[in-house]
Structure 1
C-alpha cells in the first residue's frame, strides 16, 4: 500500500471513530422527588434506602424526558423514574417516579414492583417490563406519553409463559417489532430457554423455544423484509440471530444461528436505523459496535474510559434527533459516581426505517458542565482542525518511516564503501617474494 493510500485509510479511521460525548448530569448520591400531599402511610416514600445502591439498568428517551429503570434493591422507593433531558441548574436533578408515587407500592400487585427493560414506540407509548416480586407476578405495562402518561394497558404474563414462581423467572430486556397491523414485543427471560413474545393487538403472550440456550440482552434490526433478532447468550460472549418470522409460531421452536463472538460478555445491545449495533459488557469500561450488521461481524471499540469496576457500567438509548444517551457508573473509590452523557451519532432507533436515518449529525464537545449550552454544531473549522491533527499524526508517522529507510540505505552504502576500500587497499599492498 502506498504512503498516500495508507494516509487516507488512517485518516478515515480517525474521523469515523471520533464520537464526542457531553456530560449532562453527574451524581455522587441520589435522592427522589418527594411531593407533598402523597399518601406515605405504606412507608414507601422515605429516607431508608442506601443512596449508594441506586443502579441504572435500562433507559429510554422521548421528547424532553429520560426514563430509567433502577435495580430493586431493598429500600429503593421506585424502580421506574424520569429526568429532564436538560436543566437550568448545575445541581443534578432528583429522580422523579413515573408516572407517580401511587404506582410504586411495595407488594401491591396493582403497581410496578421491579421495572426492567423498556422501549418507546413510534406512536409515543412507553413499554415497561415489570419483573414483579415474591408476591406479585410479572407484567408488561404500556403508558401513553402523549395522553398525560395514562396507563393504556397492563398485561400479566400467564404462568405458562413466565413462571409465577419468583425464583424461576428473570425478565430482562425487550425490543419492539412494528408490523403493518400490530406491535410485537420480544422479551428475554434468563431463567428459561425461550423467547417471550407479546402481541399488543391481541393482548396475548406466548413463547418460542430455543433448546439449550438462554438469553440475556437482545437487539432488533431496522424495519425491513428480513428483520433479524440478535441475541446475546446468557453468561456468554456468543452472539446469535434469528428471523422474527420464526417467533410468530406460538409454542414452536426457533433455529438460532451463531453470528460471532464478542471479546467479553454483553449486558446491553442496541441497533440504530443505520444498521450499527452497539454493545456494553459486564465489568468492562468500554463500548463496542458492529459498524454494519449486513457485513461480516466485527467487534470494534468506540468509547472507553478508565477503570470503573461496575458489573454493568453502562446503559444507553437513542432519541429521535440522532443522539445516543449513555449512563456511566463508576464504582471505584469510596463513592460511586453516576453520569449521564450524550453524543450525536446521526441515526435514530431501529424502529425507524433505514431510509429515515439522519445524515447530518451534530458533534458534541466533551465537558463537565451540566448545561444544554454545551451543545455545538459541527463547523468547517472543527472539521479542518480534525483533519490537520490526523494529517500531522500521519505525516509524523510517514516521516519516521522515511527516516528509517534513509538510515538503512546509508548504513548499506557505508558498508559497501568500507568493503570497496578494503579491496582497494589489498590490491595496493606489494607481494613479498
Structure 2
C-alpha cells in the first residue's frame, strides 16, 4: 500500500471524531486516465474529451474498486462506466479509468459498448449489474442509439457474462430508468433485479435464472402534483413529472422474501411491496392491493437515491436539504422518526448517490446536478465530491441509531470487522435479538402495532457490531466468497 494512502487513512481517523462523512476525493472537473498525453490531446482536439460536459452521477464500491458512472448527456464524455483503484497511490482528484476498458464504452456500439449508465450495483456473487439506457444527449435533445440493456460483469475477471435487452412490452415511449435494486436469494442464480421507470411510471422486474423481465404498473408510481417545485442551491425549478425513482430492498424477512421500498421523486411519501409479488410474473395484473403506503418523510424530502442495510436502516439523499437522511424501518415512517446523519450546504449540494458496501461503509457522491442542468457550474470551484464513513458512526445519536440490545455476536471472540477499503476477514453476521426498547420523547417504539396497519411486516437480521470501527490500511489479500456464493451460472447473452 502506498505511503500517501496510509497517511490519508490516518488523517481521516483523526478527523472522524468531529465530522461524520469524510471527503475522500474532490474534482473541479473530471478527467480520464488516457494511455499517454498524446492520446489525451487528440481526444481534446476531436471533442471526444470535454471535461466541463461530464457530471458523475452513480457510485458503487467493490473491494479495491470504486465505480463511478458518468452519463453522456453532452458531447465529450469518453466513458460512461468508470472506476478508481482504491489501492493505487492516493490522489485527491484521481483520473477515471474506463471499465472494463475503453472499447466497452464505445458510443453507439450496441452489441459491445455502453452508451449511458446511471447507477450500478455489485452483488455478493462478485457481479456488477449495469443498465445501459442506450441514449446520448439530454432532454429534449436525446438520441436513442441502442435499446435498454442490462449488462452484468464478473468482477473477478472483468468480463461481461450477460447482456439482456428489455422486451418491447417492458418499455413505453416516455421510459427513463435510472435506478437498480437487487434481490439476492440463497444462490447466485436466485437473483432478481428491479428497475424504476421514472417517466414511464413503471417498475420492471428481471429474473437471472429465467433471463426474463416483466413490468408492473401502479398509481403509486406517479408523482404528487403538489410537490413538483424544487429549491436547490439557490435555484428554483420544477420537476413535476418525476415519478418512481429511489428504490431499495430490505433484508430477507421471515417469509423468505424482501420488501422493496420506493418513492416518486416528486413526492415525500414512501411505498412498499413484497418481492414475493415482484418475483411472480403472474402478479403483473391483479396485485394493486399488494402495494402499500408506508408513510411520509416530511417536508423538503425529495429523494433520488436510497439504500437499505441488513439492520433495517434505510439511508437516502435529501436533495432539498443538502443532506443524507435515515429511517429505521422498525419504527413507523413519520417526520419525527426521520433523521439527518450529515448535512453540508457546500459539500453536499445535490448528493446524487448513496451506497453501503459489504463492510457496512457508506459512500456518497455529490455533484451539484441541479446547477449543472439548470444553470452553470463554476469550474474554478470544487464541484464533485466523494465521501465515506462507517454506517454506525453516521447513525450515532440519531433516531436511527441501532440499540445495543439488538446485537448478539455469534462467536465469543470479537474480531476486526471493518476496513474502509478492503476487508480480507469479514466478521460473521450476528444473530438478531428483539428485546423491548423504551420509547423516547421524539421516537416511536420499535415493533409498534401501527406499523402493521400500513406496511408489509418485516423483520430484518441486524448485522451491526459492538465496537466503533477504525480506519486501517488496505490489505492486498483477496477475500474468498462463502460456499453458498460460489457461482454456478452459465455465461450467455440475450440480444
- Contact conserved, 1:60 with 1:120, CA < 8 A, in 2? yes
1:340 paired residue number:
386
- Contact conserved, 2:53 with 2:74, CA < 8 A, in 1? no
Q: Tell me the matched-pair count.
A: 341
- Contact conserved, 1:45 with 1:77, CA < 8 A, in 2? no
Give the Cα separation in 1 of the matches to 2:117 and 2:45. Answer: 17
The answer to whether residue 216 in structure 2 is matched with residue 179 in structure 1 is no
Against the structure 1 CA distance between its residues 356 and 45, is the aligned structure 2 distance closer, same or farther, given a 3 Å change threshold?
farther
- Contact conserved, 1:60 with 1:68, CA < 8 A, in 2? yes
Against the structure 1 CA distance between its residues 242 and 89, is the aligned structure 2 distance closer, same or farther, given a 3 Å change threshold?
closer
Against the structure 1 CA distance between its residues 49 and 335, is the aligned structure 2 distance closer, same or farther, given a 3 Å change threshold?
farther
- Written as runs of structure 1 = structure 2, the 5 A alignment for 1:188-227 is 188-211=196-219, 213-214=221-222, 215-224=244-253, 225=255, 226-227=257-258
Q: Quote the RMSD (CA, aligned, Å).
A: 3.1
1:280 counterpart (294, 317, 323): 317
1:242 paired residue number:
273
- Written as runs of structure 1 = structure 2, the 5 A alignment for 1:246-325 is 246-250=277-281, 251-252=284-285, 253-254=287-288, 255-262=290-297, 263=299, 264-290=301-327, 292-297=328-333, 298-307=337-346, 310=349, 312-325=350-363
Q: Which has the higher helix share?
A: 1
In structure 1, stretches of 5+ residues that fail to align are: 1-16, 365-371, 375-433
Provide, for residues 124-148 of structure 1, a one-character-per-residue CA deviation record: whole Å limited to 9, x for no partner: 00001111121210000100011x2
Give the Cα separation in 2 of the matches to 1:23 and 1:156. Answer: 37
Shift of 1:356: 4.3
Shift of 1:70: 1.2
Against the structure 1 CA distance between its residues 160 and 131, is the aligned structure 2 distance closer, same or farther, given a 3 Å change threshold?
same
2:225 paired residue number:
none
Shift of 1:319: 1.8
Shift of 1:160: 0.6
Give the Cα separation in 1 of the matches to 2:345 and 2:293. Answer: 31
In structure 2, stretches of 5+ residues that fail to align are: 1-16, 136-143, 223-243, 372-376, 393-416, 419-428, 430-459, 475-495
2:159 counterpart (150, 158, 178): 150
- Contact conserved, 1:343 with 1:363, CA < 8 A, in 2? no
Against the structure 1 CA distance between its residues 274 and 244, is the aligned structure 2 distance closer, same or farther, given a 3 Å change threshold?
same
- Contact conserved, 1:21 with 1:342, CA < 8 A, in 2? yes
Against the structure 1 CA distance between its residues 161 and 90, is the aligned structure 2 distance closer, same or farther, given a 3 Å change threshold?
closer
Give the Cα separation in 2 of the matches to 1:20 and 1:37. Answer: 38
Shift of 1:259: 1.3
Shift of 1:103: 0.9
1:170 paired residue number:
176
The TM-score normalised by the length of structure 2 is: 0.63
Give the Cα separation in 1 of the matches to 2:26 and 2:50. Answer: 18
The answer to whether residue 53 in structure 2 is matched with residue 53 in structure 1 is yes
1:126 paired residue number:
128
Give the Cα separation in 1 of the matches to 2:70 and 2:155. Answer: 20
- Contact conserved, 1:266 with 1:279, CA < 8 A, in 2? yes
